[in-house]
Amino acid sequence: MAILVDLQEVTLEGADRTLLGGLSLTISSGDRIGVVGINGVGKTTLLRIIAGSMTPDSGTIRRGREARVGFLEQIPTLPTGTVRTTLGSGWKVDSALDRLGMLGDADVETVNLSGGQLKRVALARIFSEELDVLILDEPTNHLDLNAIQWLEQQIKSFKGAVILVSHDRFLLDQVTTRMVELDRGKTFVHAGGYSQLLEAQATREEQAATAEQIRRNLARTELAWLRRGVKARATKPQARLDAAKRLLATRPQAAARAGTLDLATNVPRLGNTVIKAHQVSFAYDGEDPILRDVTLDLGPGERVGVVGPNGAGKSTFINLLAQLLAPSKGTVKRGPTVVASYLEQSGGGFDLEATVQELVAGPRGIPGSPDDVALMKRFWFTGALPVTKAKELSGGERRRLQLLLALSLRPNVLFLDEPTNDLDLETIRLVEEFLSQWPGTLVVVSHDRTFLSRTTDRLIEVRSNGTIVEVPGGIDAWIERTTKGLPDPTSTVDSSKSNSGPTGPSGRQIRDAEKEMARLERRRTSLTEKILASADHAEQAKLGAELAKLSAELVAAEERWLALVG
């Protein structure tokens, strides 16, 4: 394997902290290196140093002779001209444009492309060039699931080295051979993919906990010794006195973020009717319909994932369900107990000149109230961030603010449109944990397969012809089918019948039984975690009795399901 880039003892200081401290990393042909860390830790900075567009404060960087490096930034730029003139011609280019959903826009000027279209064209461009090193910064943003699978194939078949920053854990686990973790100036390099990274993190945390326990034990011993009589201490060497004081003054390293995403899960109770869409179609004036004759019934506690190719109408679909758009034909009805909140894919629609605390307070609140400060702290808006204007926030911070504002309404129906965009992996995992215990109805549009797998139990596909179909088995079955080229089980189903999932009394009963089992499973997990975290014996006994009752309900629900499908 040829060495393409070699970094030795590279350091870089930020405005208020160390970003990279003594990083050594050798990149050779065939390497697939994933870079992870919380927002603002220096991931994009590291990519720019590797690409040669940024110079570190110290250290040595050597590049292989005539090594050709390509860099796809989060917000790429393209030369002026049409997409076709930018990319050239040939079957490889056409194939890439087709898989990325851009073949029909080959004659569009690049200055007229949206941010998502720019990203897809830039991806097609970088993979069509003769390069030795590919550097990709969040390449899956704005891609649908088919395009992400194309990207996986391109990365796997690339002969050179690939370095990528991504929050797509499925992609990282599929393609990476090494993981670089950035944590407050320190760098940890792990062999293997994302799963091996998690194992290494767990081991490191266990070792840190053991080391801290040893330190505490030593501190207690030294403290007891120092508290002996003056005469006893006077006979001890001064060096030991100084060492004991240093040991007592030592503290474990603070967490990268204070606290966790701790949000209340008690929400207004939902009635039996949540949202019903009947024979809904939608078209903008003078244009062809985007959605045709959609019928869907969402009940309490439903957890629905929405997938489909770019441009098929996924965002339009949930905007109709959220009643942010009026249907051209048909009806969308909402239950009387519904309190809905919507996290949109774009910037959030809030005043960019307002500060974080002004946005959290809203037009009738008082910025900086104790309740608002506590809420902002849960989302890691601390220090100077509460008085920072929204326009000055990073992409990840702005997305986190959107999530804060959406959940602060205490909704019982939540619509999320690409919620993982611009969030780091730690935040995504915490959002998943919150949603797993949240009792409301959830509708998620996402290209993040891991997120969908962990937060939804029903999958709907929006197709380019304007229809929607239920995907049997959810996202896991969809991945299995598409990765192995298995036949589409929905292709033989009449779309007019598949719009609302299983039809007939038995189909609805099966779906309701599955939904009830999923709800009880989530509640059981939450109760088990509370029991393990509690040190109060009375509370443990109360929670244990509740858990026993719930386990019996789960057994009964499973028996009902077996009777229905048997």
**Residue 504: per-residue pLDDT:** 46
Residue type, 557: A
Confidence at 299, pLDDT banded by 50, 70, 90:
confident
Which class does domain 3-197 fall in? alpha beta
CA-CA distance, 394 to 554, in Å (whole number)?
Answer: 44
Q: How many CB atoms lie within 10 A of CB 206?
A: 10
Domain locations in the chain as residue ranges: 3-197, 275-339+410-501, 503-566
**Residue 498: per-residue pLDDT:** 39
Coil, strand or helix at 73: coil
Backbone angles phi, psi at 61, to 5 degrees: -125, 120
Q: For the residues 185-213, what does the mean pLDDT come to?
A: 77
- Look at 495 and 195; give whichever has higher pLDDT: 195
**Residue 318: per-residue pLDDT:** 93
Lowest mean pLDDT among 205-209, 237-241, 397-401: 237-241
**Residue 143: per-residue pLDDT:** 85
**Residue 183: per-residue pLDDT:** 82
- CA torsion angle for 374, 375, 381, 383 (degrees, to 10)? -20
- Give pLDDT tens digits for 323-356: 999 999 999 999 999 999 998 877 667 888 999 9
**C-alpha count within 13 angstroms, C-beta hemisphere, residue 515:** 19
- Give pLDDT tens digits for 234-259: 455 556 556 655 655 555 555 555 54
Q: How many CB atoms lie within 10 A of CB 79?
A: 8
CA-CA distance, 196 to 177, in Å (whole number)?
Answer: 10
* Segment (H or E) for 470: strand 468-470
**Residue 374: per-residue pLDDT:** 82
**Residue 383: per-residue pLDDT:** 85
Residue type, 235: T
- Look at 358 and 482; give whichever has higher pLDDT: 358
**C-alpha count within 13 angstroms, C-beta hemisphere, residue 539:** 10
**pLDDT over 90, % of the chain:** 27
- Look at 429 and 215; give whichever has higher pLDDT: 429
For residue 487 the two structure tokens come to: 């036949």
Q: For the residues 315-323, what does the mean pLDDT come to?
A: 93
DSSP state of 77: -
Can 3-197 and 275-339+410-501 be said to share one CATH topology?
Answer: yes
Coil, strand or helix at 428: helix
Q: Are strands 468-470 and 458-462 parallel, antiparallel or unpaired?
A: antiparallel
**Residue 157: per-residue pLDDT:** 92
**Residue 248: per-residue pLDDT:** 53
Structural contact between residues 69 and 51, judged by C-beta atoms closer than 8 angstroms: yes
Structural contact between residues 305 and 446, judged by C-beta atoms closer than 8 angstroms: yes
Confidence at 276, pLDDT banded by 50, 70, 90:
very high
- Look at 372 and 219; give whichever has higher pLDDT: 372
**Residue 135: per-residue pLDDT:** 96
Structural contact between residues 57 and 11, judged by C-beta atoms closer than 8 angstroms: yes
**pLDDT over 70, % of the chain:** 83
**Residue 497: per-residue pLDDT:** 41
**C-alpha count within 13 angstroms, C-beta hemisphere, residue 49:** 26
CA-CA distance, 60 to 8, in Å (whole number)?
Answer: 5
CA-CA distance, 250 to 214, in Å (whole number)?
Answer: 12
- Give pLDDT tens digits for 480-518: 777 666 666 664 333 344 344 444 445 567 766 777 777
275-339+410-501 placed in CATH 3.40.50.300: yes
Is residue 132 scored above 90 in pLDDT? yes
Residue type, 58: S
**Residue 314: per-residue pLDDT:** 92
* Mean pLDDT, the chain, integer: 81
Longest alpha-carbon distance in the chain: 96
**Residue 216: per-residue pLDDT:** 67
